[in-house]
Structure 1
Amino acid sequence: MTTTVRQAVLDLLRETGMTTVFGNPGSTEMPFLDRFPADFRYVLGLQEACVVGMADGFARATGRAAFVNLHSAAGVGHALGNVFTAWRNQAPLVITAGQQQRALLPNHPFLGAVEAASFPKPYVKFSIEPARAEDVPAAIAQAWQVAMQRPWGPTFVSVPADDWGAPCQPVIPRRVAPAMAPDPALLAEAAAALAGARNPVLVAGPEVDQEGAGPALVALAERLGAPVLTSPFAARIAFPEDHPLFAGFLPAAPQAVSDRLMRHDLVLVVGAPVFTFHVGGEAAIFRSAIPIWHFTTDAEAACAAPAGTSVLGALGLALPALTAALPAAPIGARRPLPAPRPRPAPPEPADPIPAEYLLHRLHHAMPAEAVLVEEAPSHRPAMQAQMPRVRWGSFFTMASGGLGYSLPGAVGIALAQPGTPVVCLIGDGSMMYAPQALWTAVQQGLNLTVIVINNGGYGAMRSFGQVLQVRDVPGIDLSGLDFVSLARGMGCPGVQVTRAADLDAALAEACAAPGPRLVEVVVDAAVPTLYHKS
């Protein structure tokens, strides 16, 4: 019954469906990669942060854990920014990293990681360097189980290089139920509160799409006849943005959130924290008598909520049960539907190109089935206005605020959904954090269109200069970057657009062409407003 650690791990990866390995190999990983099996796929990233971002996108798009193999010590350090993002994205990852041979570790060897399991903490759900070689397969099995428990997240196993050939027992297959049902008594209490509310509002977050609970949320909102807002910094679509009940996006500003929600007599938050803020201020709603009900899979977010009652449980179980617990009479019939959300007028073309015009034309150029992956923080309000997301699974961004995620994330999503066009909308500053991901897109022949919004600097920092009333901050302006040449240097065709008259043709060609394409659009450097009062 004995086998080797390597064979036991390969068998485990087959059993769990993790036969795509995202990696950047080094000497301490070579014993695992020796005679790489033909039924596995190795996806090479040229830097470890790219590797983790690609695995994150792959995991979020498939709903299954992705397997990552990093280089030891400094390689893990390179990856940590996107490990943090995976933690905030609730992306299920099993991250392994090489370690020097066990016999060398007491003498601080080259590539040896001191306290390797502590390196990625606290932004992994589980982290271990097994005490014995024969414990490695069971540790990776446990890491997979933990990664797939709600809320999903990354896990980490450090594996000394000489462990892979050691004898061990095979991993015994087992199952752990991933979903938890909500408390029936709290469900009944929440249903009674909703039934008695005259003017409730729903705030939906990224867990709704992640849990596949979108149709259940729509059914609940329609039963209540209540408006639905998207939570601040939602990293996925939270509600169809063409639905009559969709009321817009909450900003990450306490006073604006409070002002918007205090128009209502009950707030139901579904699949999001209560609330994610980016600037300081007072949120009077937390001191008001307005009840807040909070449905989530995330116990940490529930415990951190400053007000309200949190109900823990899988949204796919909780939302239908909540709807069923409401009175039989159609509650929404007692209140008028909210007024239609005003839509912005189509932007006018101009030179230099307004960012709003670019986003408006990109929305029309994208195939209806395309997935949008965004990392252009200063242009997010304009994107939300001009590019409504109406289909579940059609939008991804990072929940962490850390740049360097969305281009490799888009590569991972395109790998997960090879028949689906993917569009990555990215700022010029963001693009420079992980441009190496373009090379992987080319090597894999992915259907990926990259739109670089070039406003000559860190637009979000310019906006925050206005918010914080600071001036003359250094390091904000960027010049001399040639994104077309950068893309071509990695085998990706690219074109630069500087005139509105040339925009439609460039976007249409890029979205229709097979394989990866890059379009750099030089836009007006006007400073956008990130946070309105309400």
Structure 2
Amino acid sequence: MANLAQRKMTVRDATLALMREFGMTTIFGNPGSTELPLFRDFPDDFRYVLGLQESVAMGMADGFAQATRNAAFVNLHASAGVGHSLGNLFTAYRNYTPLVVTAGQQARSILPYEPFLYSQQAVDFPKPFVKWSIEPTRAQDVPAAIARAYYIAMQRPRGPVFVSIPVDDWDQECEPLAARKLGTEIRGDADVIAAVADALSSAKHPAIVVGAGVARDAAWSEVIALAEQHEAPVWVAPMSARNSFPENHRLFAGFLSAGREAIVSAMDGSDVIVVLGGPMSLYHTEGFGPHVPDGAQLFQLVDDPSMASWTPTGMATVTNLKSGITEVIARSRPPKRAARPPRAAAPVLDGSAFTDSYLLQQIARVRRDGAIIVEEAPSSRGPMHDYLPILEEDGFYTCSSGGLGHGLPASIGVALGRPGEKVIAVLGDGSAMYAIQGLWTAAQLDLPISFVIINNKRYEALIGFGRHFGMQETVGTKLPDIGFCDLARGQGLEAMRVERPEDLDQALAASFDNPRPNLVEVVVE
């Protein structure tokens, strides 16, 4: 009994020790009363990153987890905090980002009386945007719940999980729990891998489509090798949230739109289409007809069984993309194919029209090698494809859910996860306002981020989508009189406003050379 007593520790100490073994020593959050006991005697080797709203904390954790390829720890305040975070929790779910999300719950002894600041159905609240959710039955079960949450978050397909923890659990005694090694990699079906290799080798006009799964599995070099082996053009899957192929490569073909007819038109002439880390058939508007061109064979290597199950046609297997592509390369015996001409470059803009396209062109020209782009400017995504090519591995992050308020805090998380590297956050004016208080955290942490605000004084993406429905005017889309420089300076950032094209390059160069967080507001036509 004496040995058992010596092994006892508090739930808090056991959990922090476990988190240390998992490499989760950065906690993102906005604390409330039911979370405070977690931080008693907070260890020096941990850091707490404060977001001024829970959605900001969630977005920062998402960017950090993607940048480090390890689950990040998020601590939220009961029902209200979880509710605030749900938009960016949905984005993390769609981004396949591993997060261990925790929230405080009221003390167990008063839960039968529906106390103030409690969560009535804590386990169900974040569903369906978490892979797993639990409120442990006993305080002593909290460390095991955190461990299981971490393992599930890191298993393919990765994603967020949720643990609700009563406030009085942290000071209870429990036994320590050691971390386990748990394999998370998945190897694709050998028959499907062989079929992909055979089809590519016998194809007359093969094509490759890459999605964010390639970047998640660090298969950048493997995709390049596969494309060059088969002299196959490489397209980017619709709405891909990461970069998976160098956009200045001679085999880069462009970006697929999120519409059925547009995809079929773009892929016309291809007889074998191999989708890597897709999906290819991600649609934003209703469409009809076939999902691939007539006579084309479709194969998919993906990291999500659900995606493999709902793909509308063709053959699919679930695999780690790096190993799956490597096996396809090893099995392929392609014929000699003629080299493809490179994709035509977009016309050079002279700045006579001060548009978002011109701004993005100049960002591409002025940025330094190795700069990371984090983007949330939906109406400028098309011009970005034309004028701001992403050239380096892990050089681009964006939101895959379509929700707003992710990009600004995600850029902070990426900067934390990749210390010493320059981050350029390209944000629409409407998007930036969803999480503008994140600038304060960037300033407090003194991170090397340039926030570039594309100010067109309206929700341009919504206006463009209104035209799809035949609307000549959309209500609630104008955004006049927002002073982004004032908002930035009020939170501790340096800021400048650009209204003329002749002032743009100097402003961008000063911003990109600045080691401190700063903001450039660019007023475009």
Question: TM-score range with shorter-chain normalisation?
Answer: over 0.9
**Aligned equivalent of 1:430:** 431
Q: Report runs of 4+ in structure 1 exceeding 6 Å deviation.
A: none
Distance in 1, matches of 2:480 and 2:291, equals 44
Residue 215 of structure 2 corresponds to residue 209 of structure 1: yes
TM-score, normalising length from structure 1? 0.96
**Aligned equivalent of 1:455:** 456
Which stretch of structure 1 is more off in the superposition, 192-201 or 229-238?
Answer: 192-201
AA matched with 2:129: Y
**Aligned equivalent of 1:400:** 401
1:280 counterpart (269, 286, 292): 286
Residue 117 of structure 1 aligns to a residue whose secondary structure is: coil
**CA RMSD, 1 decimal:** 1.1
Residue 430 of structure 2 aligns to a residue whose secondary structure is: helix
**Aligned equivalent of 1:77:** 83
Which consecutive unaligned segments of at least 5 residues does structure 2 have?
Answer: 1-6
**Aligned equivalent of 1:110:** 116
Kept after mapping to 1: 8 A contact 2:267/2:293: no
Kept after mapping to 1: 8 A contact 2:485/2:519: yes
The offset of 1:283, in angstroms, is 4.4
Residue 373 of structure 2 aligns to a residue whose secondary structure is: strand
**Aligned equivalent of 2:201:** 195
Kept after mapping to 2: 8 A contact 1:270/1:295: yes
AA matched with 1:419: G
The offset of 1:287, in angstroms, is 8.0
Distance in 1, matches of 2:361 and 2:265, equals 29
**Aligned equivalent of 1:531:** none
Distance in 1, matches of 2:158 and 2:423, equals 24
Residue 486 of structure 2 aligns to a residue whose secondary structure is: helix
Distance in 2, matches of 1:510 and 1:182, equals 45
| 1:507-526 per-position Cα deviation (integer Å, ceiling 9, x unaligned) | 111111121100000001xx
Kept after mapping to 2: 8 A contact 1:226/1:337: no
Equivalence map 1:130-529=2 (5 Å): 130-286=136-292, 288-327=294-333, 330-331=334-335, 333=336, 335-350=337-352, 353-524=354-525
AA matched with 1:244: R
Which stretch of structure 1 is more off in the superposition, 484-493 or 181-190?
Answer: 181-190
The offset of 1:285, in angstroms, is 3.3
Residue 103 of structure 1 aligns to a residue whose secondary structure is: helix
Residue 291 of structure 2 aligns to a residue whose secondary structure is: helix
The offset of 1:471, in angstroms, is 2.2
| 1:168-188 per-position Cα deviation (integer Å, ceiling 9, x unaligned) | 121132111010111112211
Distance in 1, matches of 2:236 and 2:513, equals 31
**Aligned equivalent of 2:4:** none
Kept after mapping to 2: 8 A contact 1:274/1:301: no
The offset of 1:286, in angstroms, is 4.6
Distance in 2, matches of 1:118 and 1:277, equals 29
The offset of 1:34, in angstroms, is 1.2
What is the total number of aligned residue pairs between the two structures?
Answer: 519
The offset of 1:199, in angstroms, is 0.6
| 1:413-432 per-position Cα deviation (integer Å, ceiling 9, x unaligned) | 01111210000000000010
Distance in 2, matches of 1:10 and 1:77, equals 25
AA matched with 2:78: S
The offset of 1:466, in angstroms, is 2.1
**Aligned equivalent of 1:57:** 63
| 1:359-386 per-position Cα deviation (integer Å, ceiling 9, x unaligned) | 1111112111100000001011111111
Which consecutive unaligned segments of at least 5 residues does structure 1 have?
Answer: 525-534
Distance in 2, matches of 1:47 and 1:341, equals 44
TM-score, normalising length from structure 2? 0.97
1:128 counterpart (120, 134, 145): 134
The offset of 1:326, in angstroms, is 1.0
Distance in 1, matches of 2:298 and 2:510, equals 48
Distance in 2, matches of 1:306 and 1:30, equals 48
AA matched with 1:94: V
Residue 123 of structure 2 aligns to a residue whose secondary structure is: helix
Residue 281 of structure 1 aligns to a residue whose secondary structure is: coil
**Aligned equivalent of 1:528:** none
Residue 509 of structure 2 aligns to a residue whose secondary structure is: helix
The offset of 1:336, in angstroms, is 2.1
AA matched with 1:397: T
Kept after mapping to 2: 8 A contact 1:257/1:283: no
Distance in 2, matches of 1:455 and 1:16, equals 44
Kept after mapping to 1: 8 A contact 2:94/2:401: yes
Which stretch of structure 1 is more off in the superposition, 441-450 or 173-182?
Answer: 173-182
Residue 78 of structure 2 aligns to a residue whose secondary structure is: coil
AA matched with 1:236: R
Distance in 2, matches of 1:342 and 1:73, equals 52
Distance in 1, matches of 2:15 and 2:362, equals 48
Distance in 2, matches of 1:227 and 1:286, equals 16
